[in-house]
Amino acid sequence: MSTQVKQLAKADAFKGNRIKQDKETIAFNIIGYTLLTLVSLICLIPFWLIVAGSFTDELEIISKGFQLFPDTVSFEAYKSVFSTPEQIYRAYSVTIGVTIAGSLLGIFLTSMAGYVLSRKDFAMRNGISFFIYFTTLFSGGLIPWYILMTKNLGLKDSYWALILPPLLSAWNIILMRSFMKSIPESIVESAKIDGAGDFKIYQRLILPLSTPGLATIGLFLALGYWNDWFNANMFITTDSKYPLQFLLYKILSSAAVLQTNNGAYLAANVVPPTETLKMAVAVVATGPIILLYPFVQRYFVKGLTVGAVKG
Amino acid sequence: MSGKSGIIRELRQSKTLLLMIAPTIVFFIVFSYIPMIGVYYAFTKFDFDGGLFGSQFVGMENFKFLFNTGVLWNLTKNTVLYNLAFIFLGNIMQIICAVFLAQLSGKLFKKTAQSLMFLPYFLSWVLVGAFVYNLFSDLGVVNSVLKQLGLHSYDFYLHTAPWKFIIVFFSVWKGLGYGTVIYLAAIMAISDEYYEAAKIDGATIFQQIRNITLPLLKPTFILLILFSLGGIMKGQFDLFYQIIGSNGMLYDATDIIDTFVFRSLTVNFDIGMGTAAGLYQSFFGFALIMIVNFIIRKTNKDYSLF
C-alpha cells in the first residue's frame, strides 16, 4: 500500500517536473532564438548599410546622411566606378596574383616544414621546432623589421614585399606538424623499406593524406593575403601596384580619389559621387569573398573543429 | 665511434629532410631573428645614414624619456585594458552563442545564424573601417537617425568616450564566429549520456547547461584565456588603425603600443623611441608568457604551452 502511494507520488513529481521542464524549455527557446537572431542581424546590418549607402543618391547623403532605407535608388556610384575601371582591375589583378602566388608557395613550404618536423626519426626536430616557435614569443618589433625590409633587402615598392612577410607563420607550421603526426608512422616506414626517398614519401604519401590540413592552411593564407593592406601601406609607393584593400583604404581615408571622369560631372554641374563612391568601392572590393563565403566557410568550420578537438 | 662523426652521419642521413626545411629556417632567420639584432636601435639616437652601428649610442635615454613623460604608462594601460575587455567579453559572448546554437532544434535557423556570425571574420579590417565611417561619421547612419528623431547630431570624432565601446564592440563582433565554432566543437565532444541521465533525473534545460555544459567547457575556456593572456601586450593594430586612423584627438583613449610604434616610424620618424617602445612590448610580453606558462605547468601540465 505504502509503496503504491510512494510510486504515485513519484509519478506526480515526475509529471510536475515534466511541466516545469517544458516551461523552461520554451523559455530557453524564446531567449535563444531572440538572442541569436539579434546577434545575426548585428553581424549582417553593417553590410546592409554599406550596400544601401552605395545605391543612395549623393545629394540625399549630403542633405540627410546615410540611412537604413534610402528614399531614392541611384546607380551613379557604380557607373562612376565602372566608367574608368582600369584602377579597380589593376588592384584586383595585384590582389589575385599575390593571393595565388603567396598561398601556393606558402602551402608548399609550410607542408614541407610540417612534414619534416613530424618525422620522429629526424633528430633535430625538437631543436628546429623551438627555433620556429621562439619567434612567436619574442620579436624585434616593427621598426627593425621595416628597416631590414627596405634598407637591407631593398623590397620597397616590390611585389615581394606583399608576398614574403605572410608566407610562413609558426602557427601554421605547428598546425601542419600536429596534423601530419596523426598519420600512422608505419606508412613512412613501409615506404622507406620499399626504397622511397624522403621527398618522395612527402609528395606521394603524406600530401594526399593531408588534404584537410592543407585546405585549412590554404584558406588561412588566402584570406590573409586577400585582406592584407598593411604590407602595401608599409612598402608600396606606386599607385599601379596597390592591392585591392589598400586602394579601398586610400579612397576611404580620402588620400586618393578613384580616377573617374569627374570632369564630366563638373561640366554638367552635377555633384560627383564621393560618399556613395566610397561605399560602392567597398562593395566591389569585398565581392569575391562574399561569393565564395558559403563554400569556404564549410571548410573553415571543419578545419577549426578538427584543430579544436585535437587540442 | 666518436660523437662528431655521429653528427656528420646523422646530417648525411637526413640530408633530404634538412634540404626540405632549409627555406623555412632561412625565412625565420631573415625575417624574425635578424630584426632581433635591430633592437639595438632602441639604445641609439637614430641616424638614417649611419645605419645600425653608425648611430650614436645613448644608453637608456629613450626608455627614460618614455617613462618620464608617462607615454609608456598610458600605452601599457590602454593595451592591457583593451585586451582584457576583448578576451573576457569575447569569450563570454562566444560561449553564450555556442550554448544556444548547440541546444536549439531548428536546423536551418542554426545554420543560418552560424553563417552570419562567422561572416565578419572573413572581412578585411579596411571594410570594417568603412562600416565605422558609414555608422559614425557626421553623415553616418547614427547621426541620420538622431536627426530624424529630432535630436542633435553627435560628433563622434571629437569625443573619446564612445570609442572605447565602439572598439571593443567591433573586436568582439569580428571574432564571434571563430570562437563560437571552437566552443561548439567542445560542446559537441561532450557525451550525450550525461544529458540523457540528467533528463531522466528531471533536470531542466537550464540545469543541464549549468551542471553539465558549462563545467565541461571550463578547460577549453581556461586554455583559451591563458593563451590570449600571453599576448596581452600585443595590440590589434589593424583594428585600432582602421577605426581610429590618425585622429590625434582620440589618442588618450585609443593609443596602444602598436599604433605608437607605427607612428614613430611613419609620422614622427622617432626610430629610437619607437624601437624602445617595441622592445618594451616584446620583453614584457615574453616575461608574461613565461609566467603564464609556469602557472599552467604548476596547476595542470597537460595545458601548458611548452
The three-point CA angle B136-B238-A156 to 5° equals 125
Say what the pLDDT of residue A311 is. 41
Say what the pLDDT of residue B257 is. 94
The region of weakest confidence among A72-76, A225-229, A303-307, B206-210 is A303-307
Mean pLDDT by 10 residues, chain B (306 residues): 67 89 97 94 83 82 92 94 96 96 92 93 93 90 90 89 94 95 91 92 91 92 85 91 85 91 91 94 92 85 72
Test B220 with A199 for CB contact under 8 angstroms.
no
The pLDDT of residue A307 is above 70: no
Instruction: Give tens-digit pLDDT for A19-69.
Output: 666 888 899 999 999 999 999 999 999 989 999 999 998 888 888 888 888
The conformational region for residue A154 under phi > 0 = left, psi -120 to 50 = alpha, else beta, is left
- As a whole-number percent, the residues of chain A with pLDDT over 90 amount to 57
- Chain B residue numbers with beta carbons less than 8 Å from the beta carbon of A252 are 126, 129-130, 133
Candidate from A67, A116, A223 with C-beta closest to B141: A67
* Contacts of B179 by beta carbon, 8 Å cutoff, 6+ apart: B90, B91, B93, B94, B224
Nearest-CA distance A194 → chain B (Å): 17
Long-range residue pairs from B78-81, CB within 8 A, at least 24 positions apart, any chain: B78/B253, B78/B254, B78/B255, B78/B256, B79/B232, B79/B233, B79/B234, B79/B235, B79/B256, B79/B257, B79/B258, B79/B281, B80/B232, B80/B233
Q: Which of residues 121-160 of A touch B (CB under 8 A)?
A: 122-124, 128, 130-133, 135, 137-148, 151-153
Here the ipTM equals 0.91
The pLDDT-based confidence of A304 (bands split at 50, 70, 90) is: confident
Say what the pLDDT of residue A306 is. 67
In degrees and rounded to multiples of 5, residue A56 shows phi and psi of: -90, 155
* Contacts of A47 by beta carbon, 8 Å cutoff, 6+ apart: B119
Test A62 with B129 for CB contact under 8 angstroms.
no
The x, y and z cell numbers of residue B161, run together, are 568616450
Say what the pLDDT of residue B30 is. 97
- Chain B residue numbers with beta carbons less than 8 Å from the beta carbon of A116 are 17-18, 20-21
Say what the pLDDT of residue B279 is. 95
Test A46 with B104 for CB contact under 8 angstroms.
no
Say what the pLDDT of residue B224 is. 86
Q: If you measure CA to CA, which chain B residue comes closest to A63?
A: B139
Q: What CA–CA distance (Å, rounded) separates A56 from A127?
A: 59
Q: Which of residues 159-198 of B touch A (CB under 8 A)?
A: 173, 176-178, 181-182, 184-186, 188-189
The CATH number assigned to the domain with range B71-303 reads 1.10.3720.10
DSSP character at residue A183: S
User: In angstroms, what is the C-alpha Rg of chain A?
Assistant: 28
Say what the pLDDT of residue A262 is. 57
Q: Which of residues 79-98 of B touch A (CB under 8 A)?
A: 96-97
- Chain B residue numbers with beta carbons less than 8 Å from the beta carbon of A246 are 126
State the count of interchain CB pairs (< 8 A) between A and B. Answer: 278
Q: Which of residues 17-56 of A touch B (CB under 8 A)?
A: 17-18, 20-21, 24-25, 28-29, 31-33, 35-37, 39-44, 46-47, 49-50, 53
Mean pLDDT of the A151-167 span: 95
Say what the pLDDT of residue A293 is. 86
Test A33 with B245 for CB contact under 8 angstroms.
no
* pTM for this model (two decimals): 0.90
Residue B37 touches partner A, C-beta closer than 8 Å: yes
Contact A222, A172 (CB under 8 A): no
Single-letter code of the amino acid located at A145: W
Say what the pLDDT of residue A287 is. 80
The helix or strand, by DSSP H or E, that contains position B45, with its residue range, turns out to be strand B44-45
Number of alpha carbons in the 13 Å side-chain half-sphere of residue A65: 20
Q: If you measure CA to CA, which chain A residue comes closest to B102?
A: A32
Residue B140 touches partner A, C-beta closer than 8 Å: yes
- Chain A residue numbers with beta carbons less than 8 Å from the beta carbon of B103 are 28, 32
- Chain A residue numbers with beta carbons less than 8 Å from the beta carbon of B283 are 138
Suggest the residue from A43, A169, A219 to mutate for an interface test with chain B (most B CBs closer than 10 A): A43
Instruction: Give tens-digit pLDDT for A73-118.
Output: 889 889 888 887 888 999 999 999 999 999 999 999 999 999 999 9
Mean pLDDT of the A251-272 span: 65
The pLDDT-based confidence of A266 (bands split at 50, 70, 90) is: low
Candidate from A230, A278, A304 with C-beta closest to B181: A304
Residue B210 touches partner A, C-beta closer than 8 Å: no
Say what the pLDDT of residue A3 is. 57
Say what the pLDDT of residue A1 is. 47
Say what the pLDDT of residue A257 is. 65
Q: What CA–CA distance (Å, rounded) separates A209 from A229?
A: 34
Q: Domain map of chain B by residue range?
A: 71-303
Q: What CA–CA distance (Å, rounded) separates B267 from B154?
A: 29
